[in-house]
A and B are shown apart, each in its own frame.
Chain A
């Protein structure tokens, strides 16, 4: 079945440093979504990418969808303590089922 992997599994940064998480799918995706889960919380939708090579920005967050629609990345510029949480990519293969990635847990230290 479809597998979605993310690296790194954990990332500790100092506040103000940049952060990037990478997502790779074993199969071509129709779209990819990104979710953030705070400790003890539920996944919260951040963005959806649909087109090959698409780049979207939300303030300090930049999302990319690869040309082959099998990989994606999330980059956070100048991290803040409010960015703490686990970031999941989630791929849609054609239906509405989302296959979540393994997640990257981000810790931000002052």
Chain B
């Protein structure tokens, strides 16, 4: 069964450093998403991406964040200058279409900012 993959599974970084989280969505999916989940809390939407551009973003997704689909398979989330409060699990997800948007989540990347 096709699945969303994410790398790395765990990333430790120093405050102020840049990180890039990588995702490979399911191959025939057209919509891509990033969510984050602070330990023990709910899943929070960051951004959705379709047709090589951002379609929606939350207030969390400020200028420190950016997304890119550099080739036909990868979807990346960059945090330019990490803060302590960016420590969380980051999930990538993808869905087939807008009309039926069952979202398939990857296993997540745990980001720890020291």
Contacts and interface: CB of A to CB of B under 8 A. Distances in A.
- Say if A and B assemble together: yes
B5 to A, nearest CB: 11
17 contacts: A41-B107, A43-B43, A43-B91, A45-B102, A45-B104, A45-B105, A88-B42, A96-B55, A96-B56, A98-B33, A98-B45, A98-B103, A100-B35, A100-B42, A100-B45, A101-B42, A102-B42
A35 to B, nearest CB: 8
Interface stretch (B14-22, B66-74, B78-86, B93-101): B93-101
A68 interface: no
Contacts of B98: 95-96
- Interface range for B: 20 to 34
A59 interface: no
Given A42-B91, A43-B91, A96-B33, A48 B45 contact: no
Contacts of A90: 43
A20 interface: no
Name the residue in A33, A37, A43, A44 with the highest tally of chain B Cβ atoms < 10 Å from its Cβ. Answer: A43
Interface in A69-95: 88, 90, 92, 95
A66 B111 CA distance: 37
A99 interface: yes
Contact of B31 (A43, A48, A96): A96
A97 B104 CA distance: 13
B25 interface: no
Name the residue in B44, B95, B104, B105 with the highest tally of chain A Cβ atoms < 10 Å from its Cβ. Answer: B105
A77 B9 CA distance: 35
A102 B40 CA distance: 10
B48 interface: yes
B107 A42 contact: yes
A2 to B, nearest CB: 10
A100 B55 contact: no
A7 to B, nearest CB: 13
Contacts of B35: 100
Interface string B34-73: 0100000011110010100001101100000000000000
B105 A95 contact: no
